[in-house]
Amino acid sequence: METFDPNMEEMKKAMRQKAGKAGRWMKHTGSVIFLAVLLLVLGNGSFYNIEEQEQAVVTTFGVAKAVTDPGLHFKIPLIQRVKKVNTTIQGFALGYSQDSNEVMEADSLMITNDYNFVNVDFFIEYKVADPVKAVYASRDPVQILRNVSQACIRTVIGGYDVDSVLTTGKTEIQGKIKEMMIGKLEQHDIGLQVVNVTIQDSEPPTTEVMEAFKAVETAKQGKETSINNANKYRNEKLPQAEAQIDQIMQEAEAAKARRVNEANGEVAKFNAMYAEYVKNPEVTRQRMFYEAMEDVLPGMKVIIDGTGQVNTMLPLDSFTQGQAGAAAPAPSQEAAQAAAEE
């Protein structure tokens, strides 16, 4: 038979109370720890940051929305999902490897309008215009852009001859390719935008053809040089020729004025002589005869004796010049009259 011990009962009761307090404390502490961990997990997934060159696509129950403002943003944990998109200008190469710079003929080898083969390397620059479409409109929008670029490039290159592709038509070709790519991307609507299309290099596929085109290019440069030199020579000589023309024209005008003035003077002189001739025909005729003889026989001294015989007309210069300081005798008035009558 057991005996009742009051002290033992008190000890058991005290131990049960302590055990209950410890259990409640452990339960409360566990709840606090669980809540702290839960808040930490939820807190880490509730905020996201957008950089300056980024945009975000936030999806709520399958509905996507673009967030374009940079900075710290809140999202509902476990409900909203965020995917960031790079909005800077990016690019890729066609026809060569960006890492090794090696030619990739599968992309670069093309045929021109005149049935020649050329290797043309391109660099395509693009950026994200619509982040929602760039994320959800297609599985790989950059690959679609690459395929569109190759199709447009081959179509445009096929419309030009080899000389335009290698030398003179590069700028026009780049513009047409970009314009065609913009139209194709609008049809696909994948959220990407073409920024620039650049021909990095273009050359014939063989060394012999390359040398031939280099020779052609050298000849064209020589042609341009010759044309420039000719234009320079023309620009130098043309003002001189124009100045000479002006000088000749001025001299011609001066000669014309001089000849006209001389002719007018001769006309006035003739009219004056005619007026005198009308008044005294005989005297005027004799004076004109003397003047004509002075012009025909300048400096000749002739003595006429009036007999009318030619052999009596003697040039006396040899005799008169032999006499030192002697002057030749002047013809008499009768001899002059006889000569006038003859």
Token pair 């660099």 in the structure block, residue: 123
Domain segments of the chain as ranges: 47-85, 89-205, 207-279, 293-341
For range 31-50, the mean pLDDT: 61
pLDDT-derived band at 285, boundaries 50, 70, 90? confident
- pTM value is 0.52
Find the largest Cα–Cα distance for the chain: 222
d(CA 177, CA 169): 12
* Residue 27 predicted with pLDDT over 70: no
pLDDT at 79: 80
d(CA 8, CA 2): 13
Asked whether the beta carbons of 190 and 144 are under 8 A apart, the reply is yes
For range 55-70, the mean pLDDT: 83
Report the candidate in 178, 172, 148, 143 with the shortest Cα–Cα distance to residue 159: 172
* Residue 330 predicted with pLDDT over 60: no
- Beta bridge mates, 83: 57
Report the candidate in 146, 119, 126, 94 with the shortest Cα–Cα distance to residue 191: 126
For range 210-227, the mean pLDDT: 82
Tell me how far CA of residue 11 lies from CA of 8, 18, 21, 30, in angstroms.
5, 11, 16, 29
* Residue 17 predicted with pLDDT over 80: no
pLDDT at 337: 46
* Residue 158 predicted with pLDDT over 80: yes
pLDDT at 221: 84
Torsion angles phi and psi, residue 122, rounded to 5: -125, 155
In CATH, 89-205 is 3.30.479.30: yes
* Residue 141 predicted with pLDDT over 60: yes
